[in-house]
């Protein structure tokens, strides 16, 4: 492989890694603070793709608002649904065993999947990148699309923003306190349930952004919700459960493995990702940046 192709594929891997990071960071954030195993995480990712498609491609819907506002509306709708489900359903199971949470969120997978199939059918949906991101530039001889650069910049920007929220805001401090000791935090007069709803909504927002950003690069199709959920869990395990920084490193690793694996060992690419996870579980079961559970 010459340098130009290497650069092109490297930016493709960074693009995939950015999407994976946004998806997995939401999952690890929710589990790290609320201790809820949200197996329906990928369903919100898929729902965001379908809603973005309808609001930007359907003639009647896209005529109501500018395209960028329709995208924001799609994100708000997905986050609102996630917050509603958390308040109505998940809030009842915070003190229950993980198995109960897993069964509930697994049921949501089927409910949301069939709902999406009923509304959008079985034909894959896709859109083109926005016109102002339709071009490309040359980097060290490699061709990189402007949209890929936008996705990478979005992943970096949102990652920095997430770090600022968790480390430098009152909400982040309270959320981390609730993760460490919910009862003590509640005794201080803080509404822990409201904090959990905010954290869950933030996690759904990250999944929704990942779906919206990935729609011009991939298609919204049946089964993508489960596929992306499993991949997000793999990334979280590799990076360390509850670690956003670990999710970023693991997402980059998976993005590189997937992009270059398809070129050199296409039949083993998917298996290689899971092999990395298995090795991590054996060598460092708490993940790259996870903490040892004592």
Rounded CA separation 239/249 (Å): 6
pLDDT at position 1 is 62
Rounded CA separation 200/182 (Å): 15
Rounded CA separation 33/106 (Å): 20
Q: Whole-model pTM above 0.85? A: yes
- Distances in whole angstroms, Cα of residue 6 to Cα of each of 1, 55, 57, 134, 261: 6, 36, 34, 22, 13
Domain residue limits, the chain: 3-283
* Backbone torsion region of residue 144, taken as left when φ is above 0, otherwise alpha when ψ lies between -120 and 50, otherwise beta: beta
**Diameter of the chain measured on Cα atoms:** 62
The CA radius of gyration of the chain, in Å to the nearest whole number, is 19
Determine the average pLDDT of the residues in 137-151. 86
- Write the CATH number of the domain with boundaries 3-283: 1.10.3470
Rounded CA separation 111/116 (Å): 9
Q: Is 153 exposed, middle or buried (0-12, 13-18, 19+ CB in 10 A)?
A: exposed
Q: How many residues does the chain have?
A: 294
Which residues, 6 or more positions from 93, have their beta carbon under 8 angstroms from its beta carbon?
A: 36, 100, 101, 104
The pLDDT tens digits of the residues spanning 55-110 come to 888 765 666 677 788 889 999 999 999 999 999 999 888 877 878 888 999 999 99
Q: Which of 142, 119, 145 is nearest to 131 (CA)?
A: 145
The pLDDT tens digits of the residues spanning 189-248 come to 899 999 999 999 999 999 999 999 999 998 899 899 999 999 999 999 999 988 899 999
């Amino acid at each position: 492989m010459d340098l130009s192709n290497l650069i092109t594929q490297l930016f493709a891997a960074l693009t995939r890694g950015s999407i994976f990071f946004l998806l997995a960071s939401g999952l690890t954030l929710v589990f790290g603070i609320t201790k809820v195993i949200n197996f329906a995480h990928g369903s919100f990712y898929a729902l965001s793709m379908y809603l973005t498609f309808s609001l930007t491609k359907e003639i009647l819907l896209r005529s109501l608002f500018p395209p960028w506002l329709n995208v924001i509306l799609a994100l708000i709708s997905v986050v609102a649904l996630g917050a509603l489900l958390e308040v109505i359903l998940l809030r009842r199971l915070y003190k229950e065993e993980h198995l109960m949470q897993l069964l509930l969120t697994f049921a949501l997978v089927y409910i949301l999947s069939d709902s999406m199939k009923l509304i959008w059918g079985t034909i894959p949906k896709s859109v083109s990148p926005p016109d102002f991101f339709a071009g490309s530039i040359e980097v060290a001889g490699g061709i990189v699309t402007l949209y890929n650069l936008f996705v990478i910049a979005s992943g970096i920007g949102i990652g920095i923003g997430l770090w600022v929220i968790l480390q430098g805001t009152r909400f982040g401090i309270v959320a981390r306190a609730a993760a460490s000791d919910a009862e003590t935090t509640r005794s201080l007069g803080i509404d822990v349930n409201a904090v959990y709803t905010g954290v869950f909504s933030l996690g759904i927002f990250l999944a929704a952004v990942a779906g919206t950003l990935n729609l011009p690069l991939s298609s919204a199709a049946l089964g993508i919700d489960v596929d992306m959920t499993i991949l997000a869990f793999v990334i979280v395990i590799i990076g360390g459960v509850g670690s956003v920084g670990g999710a970023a490193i693991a997402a980059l690793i998976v993005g590189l493995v997937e992009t270059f694996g398809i070129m050199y060992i296409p039949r083993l690419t998917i298996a290689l990702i899971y092999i990395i996870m298995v090795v991590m579980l054996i060598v460092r079961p708490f993940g790259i940046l996870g903490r040892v559970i004592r």
